[in-house]
Amino acid sequence: MAVKITYATMSADNEELNSAYESALVEVQEKLGELHGVIVNGEHRVERPTYEERSPIDSDIVVGLYAQGTTQDVDDAVAAARDFTDEWEDWGWERRRDLMQTAADIMEDRTFEIAALMTYEVGKNRLEALGDVAETVEFFRYYSDQITKHDGFVTPLGSLGENETNVSVLRPWGVWAVISPFNFPMALAAGPSIGALLTGNTVVLKPSNTGALMSLEFYRVMADAGLPPAALHVLTGRGSEIGDYLAHHDGIDGITFTGSYEVGMHLYRTATEKRPKPVAAEMGGKNPVIVTASADLDQATEGVMRGAFGLSGQKCSATSRVYVEDDVYDEFVDRLVAKTEKLKVGDPKDKETFLGPVIDRAAVSRFEKAVREVEESGGEVLAGGKVISDGDLGRGNFVTPTVVTAPDQSWVWKEELFVPLVAVGKVSDLDEALEKANDTEFGLTAGLFSTDENEIERWFDGIEAGVTYVNRAAGATTGAWPDIQSFGGWKGSGTSGAGGGGPWYLRQFLREQSRTKIL
């Protein structure tokens, strides 16, 4: 790719990029609608009931048919993964690292093909889709660099005698379950899987039915890189059925879950009832932004707009609450509404489109419910608030980007919505804004717009969130990138305390063994 794509890339104005992506959109059409089996020990099992995934862009487009795994498939996958754990650890970290680097090169070569499929599957515009793939490539390379930097996590210790040698060795837990969501269908399936595999665990991956094609593409990349079949298994199916069964399986030694607070907390409480094991649950967010009187309002409104409406608000990091100081409130709102009303909503395959569809009809209903709540609670819809039901877009799940005000007691300030709706409120000063920003069970991301150094330091020290941004026009609360911003939540947003794409992430896939040798 001639231009480096990250989530901070603000323009698709690149002829080479657009030409390659648009060619891929045509080429991948022949792959749409195929039947895909669950993958157990390299075997593609298709003789199962299927889930028909239709594109959120157009319900006439069938993205794929996915075999729905059974509990027997889970048992078989876990057993095969278990049988291979010793051999996979014996590969050694250098050999596993080299395989990951090969996989990174393969995926990078397929960037446009995978991104085009992702647009059809979950409705991401071209920059969002390309960014998802590029982030996954970075996960391969960054985590490979990390394990190299730490020499495979083997650390010499002190000694009590001349003939005594002591060493700390971090070793894999065994079989790791990865349960991934639809919204970053490549990065959030592959990222934890890469971390687990690289550190010597075998992996059973259970993606969302919506977004499953990306997990299958990830598997294809890994297989082509030379990954042994028993190291990675992909089980498509309903989360409430095989996902829950997998997470509570006696043969699972660790879990990474990305999804809702309710499901994440259920797994966190119940998956360790029989024995201790790591449960890394990355859950939701209700991410606040504070705009003080010293802020650059053009920068602030750009950052809020992009943070709230990127991927149609379907990010756990999406900007959903904004607290603006009195003196600049009216001007901020006027500018935000003006920018919001200019956003292009439409087919995400089109270069000019900023907002594509939401993922399904349930998301459309959730959007409508939130708009009704604003109106019935005495708030005001300042921009948007509409479902698009006519023309070609009427066959998809399209809603307009929405800016609202609402009374403090309205649940739109509290509940994660996962739709393009942002609430704006007025505050008297930074202290009041911090109090309101922290009044939530979540603590994922947060943003501040201020040019006052004292305000900035007070905010960093006072905000309760794992990922924090100041004056970020590319996304007020969104856009973390491997080795640039570690991504992980505090409070009800995460359990591991180690952000993805950060220097402590691989540690959670390993457990320490102290070794003393006397000769």
Q: Is 135 left (phi over 0), alpha (psi -120 to 50) or beta?
A: alpha
**Cβ–Cβ < 8 Å for 437, 426:** no
Q: CA angle, corner 482, sides to 481 and 488, nearest 5?
A: 80
Report the C-alpha gap between 74 and 83 in whole angstroms.
14
What type of residue sits at position 391?
G
In 209-248, which positions are buried (b, 16+ CB within 10 angstroms) versus exposed (e)? bbbbbbbbbbbbbbbebebbbbbbbbbbbebeebbbbbbb
DSSP 42: T
Report the C-alpha gap between 95 and 101 in whole angstroms.
10
Report the C-alpha gap between 167 and 473 in whole angstroms.
47
The two structure tokens encoding residue 178 = 């990865």
**Cβ–Cβ < 8 Å for 313, 284:** no
The two structure tokens encoding residue 339 = 């920018």
**Active-site positions?**
282, 316
Residues for the chain: how many in total?
519
Report the C-alpha gap between 286 and 86 in whole angstroms.
42
Contacting residues for 374 by C-beta, under 8 A, at least 6 apart: 380, 381, 385, 404, 405, 406, 410, 412, 423
Of residues 99, 72, 81, the one with CA closest to residue 41: 81
Other CB atoms within a 10 A radius of the CB of residue 129 amount to: 32
C-alpha distances (whole Å) from 158 to each of 23, 45, 514, 515 are: 59, 52, 12, 11
Report the C-alpha gap between 7 and 150 in whole angstroms.
28
In the structure, how many helices (H) and strands (E) does the chain have?
14, 24
**Cβ–Cβ < 8 Å for 148, 511:** no
C-alpha distances (whole Å) from 409 to each of 288, 374, 415, 493 are: 16, 11, 12, 22
Of residues 142, 135, 63, the one with CA closest to residue 317: 135
